[in-house]
Chain A
Amino acid sequence: MDAHAAAHPAHLDTTTGLDSRKLAFWTFIGSECLLFGTLIATYMAYRGDSLTGPYPHETVLADGTLVEGLLDIPLTSASTAVLLFSSLFMVLGLAAVQRGDRRGSIGWIGMTALMGSIFLGFQAYEFTHFWHEGLTLSSNLFGSTFYTLTGFHGAHVLVGVIYLLTLMILAIKGKLGPEKSLNVELAGLYWHFVDVVWVVIFPLVYLIS
């Protein structure tokens, strides 16, 4: 053992002392940056280029009439706050797991998943509402870029919720002790990243008109 410690000053098993899975997650998140970056770039390039409505924001048509925008800022503000809270609960969940606090782990991770689900609920509501207002994937550029961008994000949230529920089940079974806290940390990284993507989408799509 002593020889090991000498040869690997930081950790036993990797050159840098960093956990390989954590490094992989960060690298993956880096790759996701370009995935969402390209979606956002497309949204921004096509911004305001829809030939027909429905439009995201209040728009004055060529003939001078004013049409309402589709986006519902108060509603989305609420769902944005929900997602922010989920990030807070996520770190609290991680702290609970690290403490070995089983009830805390179950509770906070569960709450995070719940917040994610509520966000998805908001999004499902928003999508159906827009759909009824006549915005489909094929109605105009706004429809295509909006549904693709927020849909990709929503799909990530969905995966995250499933991921968190899996961890919650492990916690309930008592299989998520402090020695497994890395698993929660990784889920957290993913979750926060998805949150942070929303932090970018929200102003670009909803607030800036």
Chain B
Amino acid sequence: MTSAAHEIEHDQHTHPGTKTYWIIGGILLVITGLEIGAYYVEEQLGGLTVPVILALSAAKFVLVVMFYMHLKYDSKIFSGVFLFPLTLAALVITGLILLYHVLHPLR
């Protein structure tokens, strides 16, 4: 169990404090508000709606993963075992969207 004790010590000087958590929480809420706002002003945004919404949600994703999941402060190995599959998943989604909605020769 010594390792757990060590872990705490380790945590305290590398992990963000509760204040940061609240701030991030606030930012997340604001971004969510913006996302929903973008939905309601879709007409005005036109072709920008989709990129804007995607960019905003990507920002939320990154914030949660980096701060709440501590990836920013943790070992690169964790980033590796997470980011590789994440990239694959993104590619799979993109691939199927391309095949079905861009190349789709028959549908």
Binding site for B on A (CB under 8 A): 11-13, 16-19, 22-23, 26-27, 29-31, 33-34, 36-38, 40-42, 44-47, 49, 73, 77, 80-81, 84-85, 87-88, 90-92, 95, 98, 178-182, 188-189, 192-193, 195-196, 199-200, 202-203, 206-209
Contact = CB atoms under 8 A, between A and B. Distances in A.
A193 B64 CA distance: 9
Contact of B89 (A17, A22, A36, A90): A36
B3 to A, nearest CB: 5
Interface of B: 1-8, 11-12, 17-18, 21-22, 24-25, 28-29, 32, 35-36, 38-39, 42, 49-50, 53-54, 56-57, 60-61, 64-65, 67-69, 75, 77-78, 81-82, 84-86, 88-90, 92-93, 95-97, 99-101, 107
A37 B6 contact: no
Contacts of A95: 17-18, 21
B96 A45 contact: yes
A18 B77 contact: yes
A208 B49 contact: yes
9 contacts: A22-B78, A23-B81, A34-B88, A40-B93, A45-B97, A80-B32, A84-B28, A196-B61, A208-B50
Contacts of B86: 30, 33
B68 A90 contact: yes
B22 A88 contact: yes
Contacts of A37: 88-90, 92-93
Contact of A26 (B17, B61, B81, B107): B81
A34 B92 contact: yes
A196 B65 CA distance: 8
Nearest to A178: B8
Counting chain A CB atoms within 10 Å of each CB, which of B32, B50, B54, B56 scores highest? B32
